[in-house]
Structure 1
């Protein structure tokens, strides 16, 4: 039986991957110790999602409450399954800029050292497995902010004559800019994943995500932009816009589209430490103001928000992913969601869950 190991298995992308591969008959091994609650408090807990997965896929899913920084336990788990492991999807992370600044050591050891533990476990026990790393567009630091941007009524946009008009490619420099400590720890992990691919000729890949979203996310103030915004609108929770006049633009991709991209690579992997930008691209992007307006229109509620002139350090003004490279390598993949359809799904699937919060 082919085994799929998924870290951060109770999180947004991890749980989507569990459902995808368990439903296809794989033996799925989940690693998740609910550190999201440590990072973000009770609101960020993923225990509800872990229990849902265990109940739904009782015969195909086994869960381990292991910290990915625990080298001994990670090695013991990998040694149990060995060459039966065909795929490792690594989504576990400390995901917040602001939280990282409060505790840089925990941020770095989770994001960088934890990734190194997993890569070494693969090298020792299942070197022919495919290793998929959920990286981030924050590895580019604030270089995107140096692009020629034009202020419009509801958003910032890039000069239409610029070569990045279709989005930011993988060739953008990661050097000589401010990343935030979170961006730095994820970049360290990103480079490690690339290096294991290049140095050992392993089948590793970094997917540098934009805003990854979906209805199963435990969105919180410090992470999960679309999901948290929808929750605030639906529950009358106060919200703060930080800087850029609320016109900052993000591309947004649904978790299910992310997993289908992962699976395309798994089915036809490339060796040598491949890198892809992965986001909504020109098909699915939105500004903060545009997202608020649509959430209010969709729900019939008004968002209780305030504006701060101070933007988050290293935050992007405009970020849209250029998906050309991935689509060229995997032409059969396409997005099934845009950001508006995704927001509609979050609303429909969470009305009952959040009804008692308001």
Structure 2
């Protein structure tokens, strides 16, 4: 029987993975300790998502465990011997990492090492998919030839039209402490694949999004923007004239790629996983799109100071993913992503306020 272990199972990607593999009949063990509420306060709380999973997923079992607890992680792997692992647990914020650097590194880097070593000791043939981030590239993408358009920044050179490839440099750039801790984890995932021959991959996410995101200002760009519009709050644009670009991928399409990797795993692989050019948007363009759905005018203020290490324009080049896994493609276009998040927030706010 397939036994899937998902860390960060109450978060956006973790919960989507649980739902997806539950539907195809796998047994799933979710590891989560609601650390997001500690990082972001009550608005970041994910217990509601955990409760939904326990209610709706017959094959799901929740395990309360902090991945920094090395002895606890080793014991869990020794007892469970999972056949597949998806690691999504993380401290996900640039800003928070600067104020809580030990927590950031211990969760992102040391927590990942704990899981990899537990996997090596007790289930070395089990595919291990790790949610990395495009922030491993630091601010190096900002050094590209960028052209300012009416509503967005754009790559000026044809070779980058489809976005950033996995071969793009991660060196000699400012990452933020969050980006640096995720680099450490990313490289370790690759190294366990190459050095110990574990079937691993690091998925360098663009803007991961979807209706189950507990978006807050410090993390969860699209979810937070849409929620702010619905409640008629004020959104703050941090620098770059609001023309900074992100490519957005629905959590379902991430889960589908993880399934494809499990069916044919590589060793120490890296993939840039995002929405690609078709699912890219700037903040200003996102304002227009959400206004068109809700009918509510976006209220916003502008700060000249951009966030440290923030990308001006980032689009994931999906060509390697599609070459290695031709059966996979984006199934959730950007307009549908917006509509699903709007619907989710309207329902959640009607219940919880």
Q: Normalising TM by the smaller chain, what interval?
A: over 0.9
Alignment of 1:101-116 (within 5 A): 101-116=98-113
- 2:345 equivalent to 1:350: yes
Cα distance in 2 for residues equivalent to 1:6 and 1:233: 32
SS of the equivalent of 2:190 reads helix
SS of the equivalent of 2:159 reads coil
SS of the equivalent of 2:270 reads strand
2:63 paired residue number: 64
Deviation >6 Å, runs of 4+: none
Shift of 1:335: 0.7
1:91 paired residue number: 88
Cα distance in 1 for residues equivalent to 2:321 and 2:124: 24
Alignment of 1:15-30 (within 5 A): 15-30=15-30
Shift of 1:350: 2.7
SS of the equivalent of 1:4 reads strand
Residue number among 187, 194, 212 corresponding to 1:191 in the alignment: 187
- In the superposition, the TM-score normalised over structure 2's length comes to 0.98
Runs (5+) with no aligned partner, structure 1: none
Shift of 1:162: 3.3
Residue number among 202, 216, 223 corresponding to 1:227 in the alignment: 223
1:35 paired residue number: 35
Cα distance in 1 for residues equivalent to 2:291 and 2:115: 42
SS of the equivalent of 1:275 reads strand
Shift of 1:15: 0.2
1:172 paired residue number: 168
1:74 paired residue number: 73
1:148 paired residue number: 145
1:246 paired residue number: 242
Cα distance in 2 for residues equivalent to 1:328 and 1:87: 23
Runs (5+) with no aligned partner, structure 2: none
Shift of 1:348: 2.0
Alpha-carbon RMSD? 1.0
- 2:180 equivalent to 1:181: no
Shift of 1:349: 2.8
- 2:48 equivalent to 1:48: yes
**1:201-226 CA distance string (max 9 Å, x none):** 11000010000000001000100011
Contact 1:213–1:254, Cα closer than 8 Å, also in 2:
yes
Contact 1:234–1:354, Cα closer than 8 Å, also in 2:
no
Cα distance in 2 for residues equivalent to 1:86 and 1:327: 25
Contact 1:235–1:357, Cα closer than 8 Å, also in 2:
no
1:8 paired residue number: 8
User: Structure 1 38/318 Cα, relative in aligned 2: closer, same or farther at 3 Å?
Assistant: same
Shift of 1:356: 6.3
Contact 1:244–1:317, Cα closer than 8 Å, also in 2:
yes
SS of the equivalent of 1:144 reads helix
Contact 1:252–1:338, Cα closer than 8 Å, also in 2:
no
Residue number among 283, 286, 294 corresponding to 1:291 in the alignment: 286
Residue number among 331, 334, 347 corresponding to 1:339 in the alignment: 334
Shift of 1:285: 0.4
Shift of 1:22: 1.3
Shift of 1:352: 2.3
**1:160-194 CA distance string (max 9 Å, x none):** x4311211001111000100000000000000000
SS of the equivalent of 1:189 reads helix
Cα distance in 1 for residues equivalent to 2:352 and 2:30: 30
**1:237-264 CA distance string (max 9 Å, x none):** 2210000000000000000001101110
Shift of 1:357: 7.0
1:274 paired residue number: 269
- 2:126 equivalent to 1:129: yes
Shift of 1:281: 0.8
Shift of 1:282: 1.3
